[in-house]
Structure 1
Amino acid sequence: MTTDPVDPDLASRRLARESLGQDDPTGWFERLYSAASEGTAVVPWDRGTAHPLLTDWVDTAQPSGDGRKALVVGAGTGWDAELIADLGYDTTAFDISPTAIETAQQNHPDSKATYQVADLLNPPSEWHHAFDLVIEIFTVQALPIPLQPEATSHVSDFVRPGGTLLVIASARDDETPDDAIDGPPWPLTRAAVDAFTAPDLKLIQLDRSPSPNSATTHRWRAEYLRD
């Protein structure tokens, strides 16, 4: 007897809805990573390699990490953090899920990055304007839309003067109403992308490209620079 494989996106949505029903909008991350570690679920965004749009940005921008500090938001199992650490950045990578951090450390036992548990909605105060490079991939969009402005504000706040923020996210048309989105994820509108800016944090590059898995799904890649 065989059973059909579980759609990882449907499984993550189910866990998210259960957490939301318990007024715990971020608890599903730990539940998902814990289930994945036990082999009973799949993390949809765990690619086993750095995100292709991050890799492409690194190849094009050729950032130098010598003497600089980087922060990877929502590090998951660590593949994006490893790429950044290998560039020479003193890299901190965090996730709200203890199991995700434990898995990242197991996956990369000789890592140059520092992995730690932290909450984007309540980050350490010492991270204020502390990093030369901040990488945010798919974390804000994994939060319910009412929580996204607060998360966005914290992401932007991590960038120090002269520093760079790179955001990669699923794209949504501005005219698509919030209540039409059956998340997670809750993709970002152009207005949500612009919300990462501040008077001294400017959007300097924005690309929208089709997902390699679906011609009807698009991704943002946005680069910001703090004066």
Structure 2
Amino acid sequence: MTEDPDVVTRRIARASLDRADATGWFEDLYAAAAEGTAVVPWDRGTANPLLQEWVTESAPDGTDKTALIVGAGTGWDAELIADRGYDTTAFDISPTAIETARRNHPDTKAHYRVADLLAPPPEWHRAFDLVVEIYTVQALPINLQPEAVDRIRDFVAPGGTLLVIAAARPVDQPDEAVEGPPWPLTRATIDSFATSGLRQIQIARVPNPTGPSLHRWRAEYLRT
């Protein structure tokens, strides 16, 4: 396949958005990838580098702790966290993504399931010691991002940690100038995770290794 994966992704997303379905394009994209007619741009066959960096720096011990991976995709981030000893749940709205994750990791210790971030199971309320959100909020239209942030915050248990990794929006770029997906996150959106008992304890805006003019947020929060 020679067409730019980002172009294909935007075309699939636009078709979904044009039918007033803001999240249906995830399944459309993963299904097309399974058929060999598209490539999932963020699926690199390994865990996100900034997540790997955080694990190396923090050396988290997941013994007797739970973790939730938001937007699991094909499972690479979940596998990294499960290998740290966490009882790991990883979810995605796309059934094909979850099927692919289970196929990619037949000996997994993680629990993969289909779920909707905007309508999550009620038993996930403040249930996880570690919550990892990578690129999911930015894949939603800007008007849905505050609700997504609210849902993610609500997963974090007392004393728990939230790690957020996302594309960073240029400071001078207004909402109407962003042609997504993705819709990169502003500093204000990143800061909005730090409410409802969550305290921001670390934030970095780092260059993207594949394009130094682009930047990524890596932010960590603690529920006190």
Counterpart check, 1:151 vs 2:127: no
Q: Deviations over 1:35-86 (max 9, x none)?
A: 0001110000001000000000000001100000000000000000000000
The equivalent residue for 2:108 is 111
The equivalent residue for 1:94 is 91
The equivalent residue for 1:71 is 68
Cα distance in 1 for partners of 2:152, 2:177 equals 26
Counterpart check, 1:217 vs 2:214: yes
Is the CA contact 1:166–1:222 (under 8 Å) kept in the aligned structure 2? yes
Per the TM alignment, residue 195 of structure 1 is displaced from its structure 2 partner at its CA by 1.0
Q: Give RMSD over aligned pairs.
A: 0.8
Cα distance in 2 for partners of 1:179, 1:200 equals 31
The one-letter code sitting in structure 1 at the alignment partner of 2:178 is I
Cα distance in 2 for partners of 1:103, 1:135 equals 20
Alignment map for 1:184-199 (pairs within 5 Å): 184-199=181-196
Q: Deviations over 1:19-46 (max 9, x none)?
A: 0100001000000000000111000000
Per the TM alignment, residue 188 of structure 1 is displaced from its structure 2 partner at its CA by 0.2
Per the TM alignment, residue 199 of structure 1 is displaced from its structure 2 partner at its CA by 4.1
The one-letter code sitting in structure 2 at the alignment partner of 1:91 is T
Q: Does the residue aligned with 2:126 lie in a helix, a strand or coil?
A: coil
The TM-score, its normalising length taken from structure 1, stands at: 0.97
The one-letter code sitting in structure 2 at the alignment partner of 1:215 is P
Counterpart selection for 2:173 from 164, 172, 176: 176
Cα distance in 1 for partners of 2:65, 2:5 equals 36
Q: Size of the alignment, in residue pairs?
A: 224
The equivalent residue for 2:121 is 124
Cα distance in 1 for partners of 2:106, 2:28 equals 23
Counterpart check, 1:41 vs 2:38: yes
Cα distance in 1 for partners of 2:12, 2:24 equals 9
Is the CA contact 1:92–1:113 (under 8 Å) kept in the aligned structure 2? yes
Counterpart check, 1:161 vs 2:158: yes
Is the CA contact 1:173–1:190 (under 8 Å) kept in the aligned structure 2? no
Q: Percent identity?
A: 67
Is the CA contact 1:136–1:168 (under 8 Å) kept in the aligned structure 2? yes
Counterpart selection for 1:141 from 116, 124, 138: 138
The one-letter code sitting in structure 1 at the alignment partner of 2:114 is V
The equivalent residue for 1:26 is 23
Cα distance in 2 for partners of 1:163, 1:49 equals 25
Cα distance in 1 for partners of 2:196, 2:92 equals 28
Cα distance in 2 for partners of 1:223, 1:147 equals 22
Structure 1: runs of 5 or more not aligned: none
Q: Does the residue aligned with 2:46 lie in a helix, a strand or coil?
A: coil
The equivalent residue for 2:13 is 16
Cα distance in 2 for partners of 1:197, 1:6 equals 40
Q: Does the residue aligned with 1:43 lie in a helix, a strand or coil?
A: coil
Q: 4+ residue runs of structure 1 moved beyond 3 angstroms?
A: none
Per the TM alignment, residue 175 of structure 1 is displaced from its structure 2 partner at its CA by 3.0
The equivalent residue for 1:52 is 49
